[in-house]
Amino acid sequence: MLRFQYLSLCFLTLLFGHLSFHTHAQSMQQIETELKQHLKRIDEFAYLSLKTDASAFDSLLSENIQLEEKLIQYSKKYSEMLSYEFSQLKNENFSVATSPDRKFRIFSWDQRTGGSMHFYDNVFAYQINKETFAYSPSLPEGDPGGYYSDIYQLKDEKESFYLGYQHRVFSNRDQYQGIQVFNIEKGSLNEQYKKILTKSGYTATLGFSYNFFSVVDKKERPIRLIKYLNGSKTISIPVVDENGYVHSKKRITYQYNGHYFTKQSSTPAK
Is 229 among the domain residues?
no
- Does the structure show a pLDDT above 70 at 4? no
Residues 105-112, mean pLDDT to the nearest whole number:
98
Is 193 among the domain residues?
no
Is 189 among the domain residues?
no
Question: For the segment 220-268, what is each residue's pLDDT rounded down to a tens digit?
Answer: 999 999 999 999 999 999 999 999 999 767 899 999 999 999 999 666 6
- How many domains are contained in the chain? 1
Q: Contact, 246 vs 225, CB < 8 A? A: yes
As a whole number of angstroms, the distance between CA 206 and CA 226 comes to 10
Q: What is the value of pTM for the model shown?
A: 0.88
Is 83 among the domain residues?
yes
The predicted pLDDT at position 131 comes to 95
C-alpha 60 chain-centroid distance? 21
Domain housing 132 = 2-145
Q: Look at 20 and 148; give whichever has higher pLDDT.
A: 148
Q: Say whether the peptide bond before residue 144 is cis (omega within 30 degrees of 0).
A: no
Is 162 among the domain residues?
no
Model confidence at 51, pLDDT cuts 50, 70, 90, reads confident
How many secondary structure helices (H) and strands (E) does the chain include?
2, 16
Is 188 among the domain residues?
no
* Phi, psi (degrees; rounded to nearest 5) at 65: -65, -45
Question: For the segment 164-199, what is each residue's pLDDT rounded down to a tens digit?
Answer: 999 999 999 999 999 999 999 888 999 999 999 999
